[in-house]
Amino acid sequence: MCTLVQNQTSDKIAIANSSSLKVISTEDFTQHFQITLESNQNIITLKWSAKSDYIGIIANKDTIYLIDANEGKILWFHEYKLRFFVDIALDGNVIFALGNKFTVARFLDKKELDPMNVHFEGVSFNSTSTTVITTSEAYYYGTKMGTLLKANAENNVQQIKMGDIKGISAVSNFL
C-alpha cells in the first residue's frame, strides 16, 4: 500500500510505501528524489512541514523518520518501542507524535523533548486521539468521538465545539 500526500504549495507530491519514498513535481511529474526507507514497515502517515522543507513519516512499529525534502536525504529515523503513535505533525524540524491517549511526544534530532499531555476534562477517557496538525499559533488534535482540541505553546488546552460530528480522522492545515 502507498501513501500519497502533496505539500502545502501543491507543487510536489510525496509517495511512500514500506520500502521507499519518492518526491515528484506536480507540474511535469519529474522526480526530485527517491530514497530507501530502512525499516521496511507499512506507513501509517506522511506529513510535510508548513514550508515544505521536511517530510515526517511514521511507520506501523512506531518508527519515525525525518527527511530533508530539499536535499532528499534521511536526517534521522528511530524505532520507539510500544508508543502507539497514531499521527504526526511537523513544526519545522520538530516532529510531534500523537499517541492514542492524548499524549504528544516531541522529537528534535532523534532526541525526545518534554512530552505534552493534551487531554481535556470534557473528553471521555474512553475516547482516543486520532489526528494532529500544527499551525503558527497552536496545535490541533482530533478525537474518535468528534472533539477538536486546541493547545498552545504553554500547553493550555481548550475544546472547540464542532456540532454533531461522529469522529475526526483527518485535519488539514487550512486552519
Q: Where in the chain are the domains?
A: 3-160
CA 30/CA 148 separation, integer angstroms: 38
Instruction: Please state the pTM of the whole predicted model.
Output: 0.77
What pLDDT shows up at residue 125? 59
What pLDDT shows up at residue 57? 94
CA 140/CA 128 separation, integer angstroms: 14
What pLDDT shows up at residue 78? 87
Q: Can you read off the three cell numbers belonging to residue 80?
A: 520507539
What pLDDT shows up at residue 174? 42
Q: Kindly compute the dihedral angle of the four CA atoms of residues 148, 92, 154, 78, in this order, to the nearest 10 degrees.
A: 80
Nearest in space to 78 (alpha carbons), one of 27, 135, 39, 44: 39
CA 24/CA 124 separation, integer angstroms: 42
What is the CATH code of the structural domain delimited by 3-160? Answer: 2.130.10.10
Mean pLDDT by groups of 10 residues along the chain of 175 residues: 84 94 96 91 90 92 91 92 82 84 82 72 61 68 71 68 55 47
CA 5/CA 13 separation, integer angstroms: 6
